[in-house]
Structures are given as C-alpha cells and as structure tokens.
Amino acid sequence: MLGATGDNVSVTNKHWRILLWASMLLFTAWVVWSARIALLPFAFGAVVAYALSPVVDRLASLIPARTRTHDVLRRGAVVLVIYLVFFGALGGIGVAIVPTAVDQASQFIDNLPDIVDEARIQLTDWADRYRASVPNDLRDQIDSTIADIGNSSTQIAGDILTGTFGSLTSAIGLVSGFLIIPFWLFYALRDRHFIERNFMRAVPEGFHDDVMHVARISDSLLGRYIRAQLLLGLVVGTAVGVSLTFLGVQFSVGLGLWAGITEMIPVLGPWLGGIPGVIIVLATQPDLLFPVMFVYFIVQQLENNLLVPRIQGDAVDIHPAMVIMLLVVFGAVWGLIGMIVAVPFTAIVRELFWYADRRLRGATPDAAFAASHVGSLEVDLAMDARLDSIAARAAEDASVAVDPENDDVYQDGPGRESAG
C-alpha cells in the first residue's frame, strides 16, 4: 500500500516537473519573441562569440589552472589580450586604409547630389532609348511587370522598416544594446564554461548526458557555419576591393569593405554589396559600368557556385552539390528565411536525427555522440594530439646526435654504448 502511494507520488511529481519545464520554456520563448528587436545586438554578439570561442579555449588551455578562480582569471586575461590584439590590428588597418576611406567617403558625400543627378540622367537616357526601340505592346507588359515588382518591393521594405523601427523605444533599445555588446561579450567568453555548468545543473538527471551531447553537436555545427560566413566575407570583400581598384573605380576601398560586410548576410548580401557600386559607377564613370557589373557578376558566381558550397559544405560536412540543392529547395518552400537557415538547419537536424537513431537502437549517450560527425572530429583531434605526443617522446628516447669531432653517429639508449 505504501509502495503504491510512493509510486503515485512519483508519477505525480514527474507530471508536475514536465509541466514546470514546459511552462518555463513557453515563457522564455514568449519573452524572447516580445523582445526580439532589443535582442538583435545580442544575436550579433553571439555570432562574434561563436567565432572567438575556439580561440579563447585554445589559448586558455596553454595556461595551467588548478581552481575555478584560476580558470576565470586565465580566460579573462585571454579575452583581454584578444581585445587588445583586435583593437591594435584595427588601429593598424585604420592607419593604412582609413585616410583613403575617409577621403573617399568625404568625396562621396560632397558629390552625392551630382551622383544622383548623373545617375538619373543616365537612366532617363536609357529609358528613352528603350521606348524608341521596343514595340509598344511588349513595352507595356515589361513596364507593368517592373511596376508590380517595384510596388511589392516598396511594400516589403515598408513592412520591414515599420516592424523593425516602429517605435522610438525599440530604436533606443537597439542602439543601447550595441553599446553594451563589448562588455556582454567579455563575460560571455570568460564565463562560458561556468554558464554551461549552471545550465546543466538545471537539467533533470536522466536527461543530463543527452542534453549535453545535443548541445555540443548544435553548438559545434552552428559555430563552424558562422566562422565560414566570416571567411566568405573576408574573401569576397578583398576580391571586390582589389578588382575595383584595378579598374580605377572611385571609392573602391569603401565598396570593397561594404561588399565584405554585406556578404555575411546570407542570400541578400551579394546584391546589397553590388548595388551601390553599380549606381556610383553609373553616375561617375559610365564607361566602366559593364566591366564593374562583370566583376560583381563573376564574384557572385564564384561565391554561389564555388565558395559557398565548398566553404560552407566543409564547415558542416555537406557536399557542395547538396548545398546548392538545399538552397533551391528551402528557398522554394520557405523563401528568403529558408535560404538563410538551409545549411545550418539541415546539418544540425541530420546529426540530431542520427544521434536519436543510435540512442533508440540501444547505444549509450557517449557512444552515440562519438559516432556523430562532431564526435568523430573530436576523436580525430584527440588522436592526432596523442600521436604527436607519442612521436615527440619517441624522438626524445632515440636521442640521436652527431659527434662534432669525427661526425660519427652515436645513440644513447638502453643497452647501447656511445660510439667514438
């Protein structure tokens, strides 16, 4: 009788715990959604944290730490060093390119009215030629299609602006968030392991290992994807800047920086990076319009068909051909958002699916994780480190040297006598 009562209490407590966790998750999701605009800076900070976290972990591992306090101190010191190196490099780059960029920006601002007028004149001239050479019926159809696209684009842009900056409070919160990101990022990088441990303490004991492995899989894949995006931005920005400088385009440094920054915006990035360059060249150097458009076209084609499939595919272990197909399929089903999340979402779902499949077949959490792509990479890295250590010890044990007197080789080891 007492046993039955205990079982009933246990079942009741289990149901209450499930209800408690579900309520907490729903409340957290509601808060995040309600404050999504104010949280945008922290999303940006999370991207930076994903990019820097392996560097912090690697450098911190080189410094011995016996207690948690020592660990916090060494990670804090590493983050400060990274900050100093970053701002020092930023200052060095600034000394090299900022004067040119500032001069180009000043010229651009001064000439902006003339640039707009020249662009309008060029477009008007092209429109006149278009009206004179295209039959009326075909021209009406093209004009109607362009007008529909323009109206749709205007409405979408208005909806985005209204939803994003609909209130002054949201805008102020957004700016304030970006101002505190460096401080938030310092604590996030320094106390990352402490935060993870506290989170895992809140997880029910029976799910502890599974939650930990699922988090490691998702964290690793997402971090590698973000670092791949940053690499794409660096490559594309450099390619555009160098190409436009070679062509003699005005404001080439600024346009290269802009192309690199916008490249980190999936899908829309190449278009956002190319439009200002085309407009500026159209107004200032119309004879270079087609070479510049060709540069942007080639860079975009190389990015879409070579860089994105290769860099992103290697980062998440998806074949380049599959990456292209995923972008097409997700774009057709879910539009722009689908194309943005296609690669990381597919990689994470694939690994979690196989992890769950192995667990359902009876594998332990550790075995299921070790068989995953992320787990196998960690095993390979650990094995490489172990082999390097063994090779170093073997080289030490061999103790091969050369006698400077007669160049005879002698070996110091068990059972051997030195020659000479």
Residue 410: per-residue pLDDT: 40
Q: What pTM did the predictor assign?
A: 0.61
Separation in Å, CA 226 to CA 45, 134, 188, 311 = 12, 47, 17, 11
Measured between its terminal Cα atoms, the distance across the chain in Å is 89
Buried b (16+ CB within 10 A) or exposed e, 104-141: beeebeebeeebeebbeeeeeeeeeeeeeeeeeeeeee
Helix, strand, or coil (residue 410): strand
**Which residues is 400 bridged to in the sheet?**
411
> Over the stretch 392-402, which tens digit does the pLDDT of each residue have?
555 555 554 44
Residue 302 to residue 210: CA distance in whole angstroms: 40
The answer for residues whose C-beta is within 8 angstroms of residue 318's C-beta and 6 or more apart is 312, 326, 343, 346, 347
**Which residues is 411 bridged to in the sheet?**
400
Residue 93: per-residue pLDDT: 64
> Over the stretch 59-108, which tens digit does the pLDDT of each residue have?
888 888 777 777 778 888 888 888 888 777 767 766 666 666 666 666 66
